[in-house]
């Protein structure tokens, strides 16, 4: 087993006819993901690299049995594309798009029916289950199949962590980027629940950053529910307060959301917290069961 | 995007949020003229993008023309240092001249998007004029919060609950409810990421007004908030940050000597962290983004090296979409064009890294390659100490 994406994934790419959409459609397929459809309104009937394009997500789902979507639609239309994927009844919609207005996400998250489509992102690299399916923009070749789940608010910092793991021969079950925006569809806790229940995942790397309280909520969950070891890192220990550090959600406001607070919360929940981002792999090596 | 108080008030007034009458001015003469139109007393308020102005002497009451002139001369064209500006302070270029209003009570209200629930949240407190963070620590029971369902907006019963909680009575109660409903509509309509009214004022007659207003608007929504976007005052921003923004680079100037160039916000923060752990201080946060072109790399390099406190450059790139060879190409071009003034330590990993390493080695330029983030940070510190 892996979580969110795997052999069962049948991928639909929204915004497939754009430059990014077309490029990553190819990259996901080359990795071995079954890419079954694309959607670009008004371009139904075309093909991109052999993948049929539809006008609407509903049509695409009906014709191809797609169950997961990857969104490359420009920011001002991205929330609408996510809403369309939710309406089409997909299991998962992964939004790569950066700079989606926060209030658009507030509305989309509110409109999602309970138990409906899971939304991952926006402003995230996606999810990958090594050797099974890649649904995102991460470089596939740094991953290796194994038993460590990775969950992160960042993109390239996740690659860094994965690289450290793979280099030590530690493979991954699934790596999930939840996104750097203030309002996102899937939280740390949501992914931790999946990893906790996944037979194949034996340990978890959690990479947080300054801003908000998602890491504190994760710490709460870990203290109560998690029996698998968790290694944690928080980026932004040196970030000045009141400034947005690249990600819309990475900001210390009114003295809240600091790295120090988050590291303390995770530590007190039993997480193996590393101060240096270079120590993630080594710490996991020593935290893994049987080591 | 941050706005000046007078801009925030004008925008809020467009949604029927009551504010005192006032005029922005940029000279002492204009200040006197505005005051005589408004009638005395007036309040002379420094307009800068930072709070804490009152305690720093940037807000003064004036009861006559001589006092307005004196206050305007004392503030305008001078640097105001508040606890939010840092020790260097901010030059005051603009004043808000506002009618004086009689103050019966000072309350607090703000709106943000609550990240845990993904919904707008109203925070209100009867302790106006104080920092909400202090109130939260000292008297948390004075703070009330209400989550708003974005599908229906703030409901009148929720606004009433807040108004009762704030102890509003008589005409102030109805005015307070109207004020809160209008404030939510403004928050929603302006794509605000934060609105803070502190203090929210109750006058002796039961009027409810925004005596101060802080408004930040979601940068991602500026494409549909043209009126707001047009109000940007780049004089309030650091010139290097403005320049970086023009090239779609995420740059924030800091106080150290290690110029950092990284792809991705999380990795850029982590790079700053490891520099500090190794014993040096980062000079900046700089995220060149996921798909940076050779041009972008050149712009990034130029911006970070034009900060005179930078003594060494650390480049940390994890190539995914951004291929390492493209980075190397951009970097070699930039160094050739700008002249290699500073030592450069480079850590690269990911797509096409081998090709890129060869390109750098064959360039004949003095790049110091590093293996991993820790090695990179250690090499930076060693070079700084040797210098």
Instruction: Give the H/E segment covering residue A159.
Output: helix A156-167
Best CA proximity match to B56, nearest among B22, B94, B90: B90
- In angstroms, the separation between the Cα of residue B115 and the nearest Cα of chain A is 6
Inter-chain residue contact B113 with A137, CB threshold 8 Å: no
Dihedral-angle region of residue A274 (phi above 0 means left; psi in -120 to 50 means alpha; beta otherwise): beta
Q: For A153, name the nearest residue in chain B, comparing CA atoms only.
A: B266
- In angstroms, the separation between the Cα of residue A157 and the nearest Cα of chain B is 4
CB neighbours of residue B40 within 10 Å:
15
Active site residues of A: 247
CA distance linking residue A226 with residue A216, whole number of Å: 14
What DSSP state is assigned to residue B159? Answer: H
- In angstroms, the separation between the Cα of residue B201 and the nearest Cα of chain A is 22
Q: What is the pLDDT of residues B227-277, one digit of tens each?
A: 999 999 999 988 899 999 999 899 999 999 999 999 999 999 999 999 999
Task: Give the side-chain half-sphere CA count within 13 A for B327.
Answer: 31
pTM of the predicted protein model: 0.94
Q: Where are the beta strands (DSSP E) in chain A?
A: 10-14, 34-39, 47-48, 51-54, 68-71, 92-95, 118-120, 126-129, 133-136, 145-152, 172-177, 203-209, 230-235, 272-273
What pLDDT shows up at residue B128? 87
What DSSP state is assigned to residue A130? Answer: T
Inter-chain residue contact B273 with A276, CB threshold 8 Å: yes
* Pairs across A and B, CB distance < 8 A: 179
CB neighbours of residue B152 within 10 Å:
8
Q: Pairing mode, if any, of strands B79-80 and B119-125?
A: unpaired
Query: Which one of B220, B266, B274 has the shortest CB-CB distance to A278?
Result: B274
Inter-chain residue contact B270 with A163, CB threshold 8 Å: no
The contacts of residue B172 (CB under 8 Å, 6+ apart) are: B105, B202, B206, B207, B208
B342, B311 contact by CB (below 8 A): yes
What pLDDT shows up at residue B135? 80
B-chain residues within 8 Å CB-CB of A217? 116
Asked if pLDDT for residue B159 goes beyond 90, the answer is yes
CA-to-CA dists, residue A169 to A3, A145, A273, A274, B374, angstroms:
21, 10, 21, 20, 20
Least confident range from A42-51, B185-194, B246-255, B315-324: namely B315-324
Question: Is the pLDDT higher at B139 or at B60?
Answer: B60
What DSSP state is assigned to residue B91? Answer: E
What pLDDT shows up at residue A242? 85
ipTM of the complex: 0.95
B1, B172 contact by CB (below 8 A): no
Asked if pLDDT for residue A248 goes beyond 90, the answer is no
Instruction: Give the H/E segment covering residue B198.
Output: strand B192-202
Inter-chain residue contact B221 with A103, CB threshold 8 Å: yes
CB neighbours of residue B44 within 10 Å:
26
What pLDDT shows up at residue A109? 94
Q: For B284, name the nearest residue in chain A, comparing CA atoms only.
A: A239
A-chain residues within 8 Å CB-CB of B116? 212-214, 217
Asked if pLDDT for residue A71 goes beyond 90, the answer is yes
What pLDDT shows up at residue B129? 80
B384, B258 contact by CB (below 8 A): yes
Q: What is the pLDDT of residues A163-205, one digit of tens each?
A: 999 999 999 999 999 999 999 999 999 999 999 999 999 999 9
What DSSP state is assigned to residue A142? Answer: G
Q: B226 and chain A: CB distance < 8 Å anywhere?
A: no
CA quadruple A216, A222, A224, A229: dihedral sign = negative
Asked if pLDDT for residue A208 goes beyond 80, the answer is yes
Asked if pLDDT for residue A243 goes beyond 90, the answer is no
- In angstroms, the separation between the Cα of residue B387 and the nearest Cα of chain A is 24
Q: B88 and chain A: CB distance < 8 Å anywhere?
A: no
Q: What is the pLDDT of residues A86-125, one digit of tens each?
A: 999 999 999 999 999 999 999 999 999 988 999 999 999 9
Asked if pLDDT for residue B383 goes beyond 70, the answer is yes
What pLDDT shows up at residue B293? 76
What part of B 235-274 touches A (C-beta under 8 Å)? 250, 252, 254, 262-274
Round the CA-based radius of gyration of chain A to a whole number and report it: 18
Q: Could you tell me the two tokens for A12?
A: 């639909």
Task: Give buried/exposed letters for B334-364 (b at 16+ CB in 10 A, else e).
Answer: bbeeeeeebbbbbbbbbbbbeebbebbeeee
CA distance linking residue B262 with residue B290, whole number of Å: 10
Q: Could you tell me the two tokens for A3?
A: 């979580």
Best CA proximity match to A240, nearest among B240, B255, B335, B228: B255
Q: Pairing mode, if any, of strands B119-125 and B105-114?
A: antiparallel
pLDDT grade for A291, boundaries at 50, 70 and 90: low
Inter-chain residue contact A99 with B220, CB threshold 8 Å: yes
CA distance linking residue B249 with residue A99, whole number of Å: 14
CA distance linking residue B100 with residue B47, whole number of Å: 17
* Measured distance between the N- and C-terminal CA atoms of chain A, rounded to whole angstroms: 23
CA distance linking residue B262 with residue B174, whole number of Å: 53
What pLDDT shows up at residue A118? 97
Asked if pLDDT for residue B80 goes beyond 70, the answer is yes
- Looking at chain A, the whole-number percentage of residues with pLDDT higher than 70 is 99
Dump the DSSP string for A162-183. HHHHHHTT--EEEEEE--SSSS
Task: Give the side-chain half-sphere CA count within 13 A for B221.
Answer: 20
Q: Could you tell me the two tokens for B153?
A: 């907006």
Active site residues of B: 108, 196
Query: Which one of B120, B254, B277 has the shortest CB-CB distance to A276?
Result: B277
Q: B151 and chain A: CB distance < 8 Å anywhere?
A: yes
Q: What is the pLDDT of residues B12-70, one digit of tens each?
A: 999 999 999 999 999 999 999 999 999 999 999 999 998 889 889 999 999 999 999 99
pLDDT grade for A35, boundaries at 50, 70 and 90: very high
Q: What is the pLDDT of residues B81-135, one digit of tens each?
A: 998 888 889 999 999 999 999 999 999 999 999 999 999 999 999 988 878 878 8
CA distance linking residue A94 with residue A127, whole number of Å: 8
- In angstroms, the separation between the Cα of residue A61 and the nearest Cα of chain B is 27
What part of B 113-142 touches A (C-beta under 8 Å)? 113, 115-116, 118-120, 131-133
CA-to-CA dists, residue A105 to A102, A190, B176, angstroms:
5, 17, 29
Inter-chain residue contact B266 with A155, CB threshold 8 Å: yes
Q: What is the pLDDT of residues B330-346, one digit of tens each?
A: 889 888 888 878 999 99
What pLDDT shows up at residue B289? 82
Most B-contacting residue of A238, A247, A251 (CB-CB within 10 A), to test interface = A238
CA distance linking residue B369 with residue B347, whole number of Å: 6
CA distance linking residue A32 with residue B241, whole number of Å: 42
B109, B124 contact by CB (below 8 A): yes
What pLDDT shows up at residue A1? 65
Inter-chain residue contact B320 with A139, CB threshold 8 Å: yes
Task: Give buried/exposed letters for B243-268 (b at 16+ CB in 10 A, else e).
Answer: bbeebebbbbbbebbbbbbbbbbbbb
What is the rounded average pLDDT of the residues B275-299?
Answer: 88
CA distance linking residue A124 with residue A96, whole number of Å: 5
CA distance linking residue B335 with residue B261, whole number of Å: 14
Work out the mean pLDDT of chain A and round it to a whole number. Answer: 95
Most A-contacting residue of B269, B317, B327, B381 (CB-CB within 10 A), to test interface = B269
A149, A205 contact by CB (below 8 A): yes
């Amino acid at each position: 087993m892996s979580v969110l994406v795997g052999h069962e994934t049948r991928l639909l790419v929204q915004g497939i006819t754009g430059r990014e959409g077309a490029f990553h459609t190819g990259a996901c397929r080359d990795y071995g993901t079954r890419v079954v459809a694309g959607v670009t309104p008004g371009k139904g009937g075309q093909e991109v690299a052999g993948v049929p394009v539809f006008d609407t997500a509903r049509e695409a789902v009906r014709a191809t049995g797609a169950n997961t979507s990857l969104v490359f639609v420009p920011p001002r239309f991205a929330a609408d594309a996510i809403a369309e994927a939710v309406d089409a009844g997909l299991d998962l919609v992964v939004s790569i798009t950066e700079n989606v207005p926060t209030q658009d996400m507030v509305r989309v998250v509110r409109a999602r029916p309970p138990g409906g489509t899971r939304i991952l992102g926006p402003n995230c690299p996606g999810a990958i289950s090594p050797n099974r399916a890649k649904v995102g923009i991460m470089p596939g070749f740094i991953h290796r199949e194994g038993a460590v789940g990775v969950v992160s608010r960042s993109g390239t910092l996740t690659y860094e962590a994965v690289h450290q793991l793979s280099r030590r021969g530690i493979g991954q079950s699934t790596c999930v980027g939840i996104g750097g925006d203030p309002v996102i569809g899937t939280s740390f806790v949501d992914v931790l629940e999946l990893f906790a229940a996944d037979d194949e995942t034996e340990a978890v790397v959690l990479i947080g950053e300054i801003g908000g309280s998602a890491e504190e909520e994760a710490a709460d969950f870990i203290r109560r529910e998690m029996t698998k070891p968790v290694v944690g890192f928080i980026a932004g220990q040196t970030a000045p307060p009141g400034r947005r550090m690249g990600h819309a959600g990475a900001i210390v406001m009114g003295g809240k959301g600091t790295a120090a607070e988050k590291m303390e919360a995770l530590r007190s929940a039993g997480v193996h917290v590393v101060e240096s981002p270079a120590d993630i792999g080594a710490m996991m090596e020593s935290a893994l069961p049987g080591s | 995007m941050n706005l000046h108080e007078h801009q925030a008030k004008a925008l809020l007034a467009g949604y029927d949020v009551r504010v005192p009458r006032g005029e922005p001015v940029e000279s002492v003469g204009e200040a006197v003229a505005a005051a005589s139109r408004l009638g005395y007393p007036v309040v002379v308020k420094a307009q800068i993008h930072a709070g804490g102005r009152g305690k720093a002497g940037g807000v003064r009451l004036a009861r006559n023309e001589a006092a307005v002139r004196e206050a305007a001369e004392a503030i305008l064209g001078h640097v105001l240092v508040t606890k939010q500006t840092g020790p260097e302070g901010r030059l005051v270029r603009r004043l808000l001249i506002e009618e004086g209003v009689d103050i019966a009570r000072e309350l607090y209200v703000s709106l943000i998007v609550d990240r845990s629930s993904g919904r707008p949240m109203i925070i209100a407190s009867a302790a106006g004029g104080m920092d909400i963070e202090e109130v939260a620590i000292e008297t948390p029971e004075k703070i009330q919060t209400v989550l708003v369902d974005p599908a229906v907006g703030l409901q009148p019963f929720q606004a009433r609950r807040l108004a009762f909680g704030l102890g509003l009575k008589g005409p102030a109660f109805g005015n307070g409810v109207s004020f809160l409903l209008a404030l939510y509509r403004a928050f929603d309509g302006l794509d605000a990421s934060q609105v803070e009214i502190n203090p929210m004022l109750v006058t002796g007659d039961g009027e409810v007004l925004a005596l101060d207003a802080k408004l930040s608007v979601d940068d991602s929504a500026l494409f549909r908030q043209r009126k707001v976007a047009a109000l940007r005052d780049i004089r309030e921003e650091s010139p290097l940050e403005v320049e970086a923004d023009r090239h779609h680079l995420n740059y924030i100037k800091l106080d150290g000597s290690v110029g950092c160039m990284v792809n991705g916000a999380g990795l850029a923060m982590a790079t700053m962290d490891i520099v500090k752990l190794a014993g040096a201080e980062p000079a900046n946060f700089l995220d060149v983004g996921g798909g940076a072109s050779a041009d972008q790399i050149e712009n990034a390099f130029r911006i970070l090296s034009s900060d005179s406190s930078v003594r060494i450059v650390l480049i940390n790139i994890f190539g995914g979409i951004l291929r390492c060879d493209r980075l190397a190409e951009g970097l070699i071009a930039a160094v050739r064009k700008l002249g290699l003034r500073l030592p450069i330590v480079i850590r690269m990993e990911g797509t096409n890294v081998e090709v890129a390493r060869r390109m750098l080695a064959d360039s004949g330029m003095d790049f110091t390659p590093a293996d991993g983030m820790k090695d990179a940070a250690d090499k930076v510190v060693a070079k700084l100490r040797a210098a």
